[in-house]
A and B are shown apart, each in its own frame.
Chain A
Amino acid sequence: MDTRLQARLALEDLNARYVDCLDQGRFEGWPDFFTEDAVYKIISAENHEQGLPLGVIDCRGRAMMRDRITALRDANIFEDHRYRHIVSTPLVRRAADDEVWAETNYQVTRIMRDGSAMLFSLGRYLDRLTGAGEDMRFAERLVVFDNKRIDTLLVIPL
């Protein structure tokens, strides 16, 4: 199997486990999909395309991701809700032995406690990955969302 195909299969599996973790509310497991000093950033396409660095969530390293989850669990106040992610087949831009660059489209439906559901976020994951097979991790995951207007608040990672 060529490197790109291997990378695609590994990322497909990683994406599937990633969205399962978030959608089933096992948030404590979320930082484990990243390398220790990984970047996780949610940024609007508007900012991204203008070269503006501001993100909605901007974690530098797994420790900051853990803080996000602690705050979500114990500090922040919000109405109960969950996500359902739909992700596309990844497009592998480049696959080297030790690093992979890839993009995956996503849509997130947010389901509120009263049963109402809305298309909450859609866009692209722009990823840089290290490791192969089941050891693949995000060294960088940029969540670039197209619908720049965020409804009410964002507290669960995308």
Chain B
Amino acid sequence: MTQSVFDAFYVSSSLDLEELSKAVKAPYHLQLTAEETQPYQILDTFDQQIHGQRKILFSQGNRLLLLDWAKSLSDHQQAKKWAFVEELNAESLRQELGYVSSLRALLPVQTLKGRLINGSLLDDEQKTVARIICLCFETAPGKLLTLTGLNKIRGYGKAFKLLAELFSHPAEDDLTAFAGTWALLVPDFLPYTNKPQVDYLSQSPAYEVASRLIAAYLHTARLNEEGVCADFDSEFLHDYRISLRKVRSILSLFKGVFDEDVTCDLKTRFSDLMRQTNRLRDLDVYLLEQESYLALVPEILRSGLLTMFEEFAEERDRTQKKVKRQFLSKNYKQEMTALQKLCPHTPAQMKKAAAETLKVGSDGDLPVFDYASALIWKRYRKVRKLARRIDAETPDEQVHELRIQFKKMRYLMEFFAPLYSAKEMKTLIKSLRRLQNSLGKFNDCSVQQEALNAHITAHANSKQDNDLEMVKSVGALVAAIHQSQLEERIKIVANLDSFTSDETSTKFEHLFHLQPANSAQLAEKNV
């Protein structure tokens, strides 16, 4: 069997194999082997990356079958236990799934009863000249869905064509689209995204938009709790924290939308929540960076670093268990439910909440478009002012300040993106990306140096040989990271010009300032 270059794929409700066999004419004949009905699982990442590419991965025992919509159905063996794409044996399968994030584990999405039928089209020498794989699922009592893949074998194009012709009848209506087939296989599909969409009108009150954004991000955070507890992959915690951080930024950036006391109380409560997972995320990051850290120090110093990573791995284990206990605790659940209850859904709830619990602030009734434009415009000018003051000589503190303000500006732009022309926002955000990345890396470097120095301090007085070795290695690593930070700083300065340019200013002004007449006044009010 050669990697089939031209394959075909068909979907139908059922497939009469007997009829198919009869339809095959001499000198060919079809040899079929049907397996027993077995439970099959559909696997995907939590954020459905496979589904997003119109592919479906089925697993049964040691077997993996990948359906590439409208192209092929391929069969692979996987003896070892695995969770990530890079752990797959079959190179062709790894390649086909190459776009799946290496940080994401594959998890069961759905279990279905299915039956696999493997077939070979043989010629008069009993040579296989084409292959057929059928996966037949019972999607509901008495309802079948059959996925059929044909694989061509090099040099036997004619035979493949003959076989493909037997399938050329038009597909049944609801099965022509990927979505239709997917809906039959996974009827209760609930897509997950870490960027929840909140739809609103430009005239909606800012209060309503803010509370709905908080509700959406809080919900997103909660969707990740199970994955954090089960420790499927590190992205669950990452998304959980990003979602909570978004909530906190809404509270601190959306000035005047909520009552001040309410804002203050909520900020503390969300900060408390975040703090519980700080260490676990830090450790995750160190462990994910292990390879790149090792590459930064000379060969002879690596074993010292490995000692540190072993310690990190152990600590991570303990910390994960602790976080899990916290997430499962009564206190935690009560707090989360209470926070979720605070955010109103229906207009009636909204009214009640605005008056009683999540009290509305002085600017909460402003139309969100005006409110948002003023906020972003103001923040942009602040960032621009900071940026203009930075050159190669300015102290690091100012670069950090720029990063913080820049990030706030970006968050605001993200929260309010639906209010503006998608195309213009996209080009603007894209033009900011390079500076944003450098600022991010610059900060990562300084956080890492701090953490590693703390690790050194903690072991500095140790009398153990391998601790001494480790301290030496970590010292070398800190030096290397410091070097990267200096390089990032140079890049930041190089990218500032484009950010402070008239061209970028005009774009910001056009989107967030020179908008309908009445907004100018309100903008002034907020500045």
Decide whether A and B assemble into one complex.
Answer: no
Interface residues of B (CB under 8 A from A): none
Interface residues of A (CB under 8 A from B): none
